[in-house]
């Protein structure tokens, strides 16, 4: 229980460090959004929130900042005036193409050290733990 927080914290710091050093200028939350909508035609805020686990109130601000940077754009869905589509701009797509594989590799190189058996076990246990709550 202390271990869960410690492991997440360590991962999270490493994750943030990798993004910082990449020079992309993306924060962890911004990267999660970019990496989520990359390769799609755009997604609603609801769906982005469900995947990234960022609550809607927070997500508005994260997307605001990505929009200011010119990495994403928003438009509303015709047919359902409640929904907003968020999609990468051309610039956002370039960042995604460059940073996504790089960052995945950056993380993978660490998790690979765990060994296939441990990785499988960890995945199962973490899913169980999540299911507890």
Partner DNA sequence: GAATGTATGTTCTGGTAAGAACATAAAATA
Partner DNA sequence: TATTTTATGTTCTTACCAGAACATACATTC
- For a copy of itself, the binding residues (CB under 8 A) are 1, 3-14, 53, 107, 110-111, 113-114, 118, 121-123, 125-130, 132-133
Q: In angstroms, how far is the first alpha carbon of the chain from the final one?
A: 13
Contact 33, 48 (CB under 8 A): yes
Q: What are the residues binding DNA (CB under 7 A)?
A: 9, 13, 16-17, 27-30, 44-46, 49, 53-65, 74, 79-84
The b/e string for 66-105 (b: 16+ C-beta within 10 A; e otherwise) is beeeebbeeeeeeeeeeebbbbbeeebbebbeebeeebee
* Residue 34 binds: one of DNA, a copy of itself, none (C-beta under 5 to 8 A by kind): none
Between 3 and 41, CB nearer to a copy of itself:
3
Contact 83, 39 (CB under 8 A): no
For residue 118, the minimal CB distance to DNA (Å) is 25
Between 107 and 124, CB nearer to DNA:
107
For residue 86, the minimal CB distance to DNA (Å) is 8
Alpha carbons 76 and 14: distance in angstroms, whole number: 36
Between 51 and 85, CB nearer to a copy of itself:
51
Between 17 and 124, CB nearer to DNA:
17
Length of the chain: 133
């Amino acid at each position: 229980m202390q271990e869960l927080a410690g492991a997440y914290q360590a991962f999270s710091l490493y994750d943030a460090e990798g993004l910082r050093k990449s020079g992309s200028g993306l924060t962890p939350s911004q990267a999660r959004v970019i990496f989520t909508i990359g390769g799609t035609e755009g997604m609603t805020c609801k769906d982005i929130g469900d995947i990234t686990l960022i609550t809607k109130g927070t997500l508005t601000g994260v997307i605001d900042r990505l929009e200011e940077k010119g990495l994403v754009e928003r438009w509303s869905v015709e047919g359902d005036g409640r929904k907003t589509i968020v999609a990468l701009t051309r610039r956002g797509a370039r960042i995604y193409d460059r940073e996504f594989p790089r960052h995945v590799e950056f993380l993978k190189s660490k998790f690979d050290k765990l060994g296939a058996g441990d990785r499988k076990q960890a995945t199962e246990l973490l899913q169980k733990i999540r299911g507890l709550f």
